Chain A
Amino acid sequence: MGWIEILDRAEVVTDKHHIRGSTGGGEIRRAPNLVPLRITCLPNDQDKMFKLSDKILLLCVGEAGDTVQFAEYIQKNIQLYKMRNGYELSPKAAANFTRKNLADYLRSRTPYHVNLLLAGFDETDGPGLYYMDHLSALAKAPFAAHGYGAYLTLSILDRYYRPDLTRDEAVDLLKKCIEELNKRFILNLPSFSVRLIDKEGIHDLEKLMPVGAK
């Protein structure tokens, strides 16, 4: 048993736009022995979301250091594409580009241990959410989650997600997920930052605090 690292996020996609939620902070590590030697709660405002372009967001979690390194590498490459060609990569192309890179590094001596969610809005295809894990498996999904929180939230999303959710309904669904985490999850996750992508671009919504959290 090693350190347990908890980083939670949940994401909801509707026909018109995306909402992704992730924890604003709340990283807790627990030592391997039965009696916990150290419990450190570091509520920091670490933003795990990387803006790849005006309409594409990348949420990157996993091994410390790998996340930022890989995400920034992808981010700069996507921006380079735009500078070279004058137009941006579509979310689907960006997701596949990310996947190819992750896959290539996976089969080298220096793999990146990161889990990703990529969300974007395409002019022709509309909103899209791409789930990618550290083994470079890519799937386009209506909703997705990574981490221990996924065990709890995916069932909520399964139950209440509909393809024709409105924006407010999607935010409500996200709140439901967070309530569930607050109720059932052992760790206290004080706040979640939420971003929305629609045809106008990326918008910051208000931070979600679970009721009863400190």
Chain B
Amino acid sequence: MVKSTSKDAQDLFRSLHSAYSATPTNLKIIDMYVVFAVFTALIQVAYMALVGSFPFNSFLSGVLSCVGTAVLAVCLRIQVNKENKEFKDLAPELAFADFVLCNLVLHLVIINFLG
């Protein structure tokens, strides 16, 4: 039983991997960016757990910048993905322009709140 479940897990992983390799490159680039942002957020949370939350506004600002930009990147991915029927008529350039603008606003707020 254990052997079959581990074989199932391996099969699952392999199928996921092959399916993922089929995604277009631009989506993979967005995914990498999201992973980078979330990773940075996790590092900050670990640091706060170690040191304490003294300048809490700085902590929030740092975490929020990572999480916010990750969320915006996910939104971009949703809008740009050709398999997504909902945004079929949305031009990818418009999506990207929205992404850039939102990020600008986000970083402005972050720098203000950083203290």
A and B associate: no
Q: Name B residues whose Cβ lies closer than 8 Å to a Cβ of A.
A: none
Chain A residues within 8 Å of B, Cβ to Cβ: none
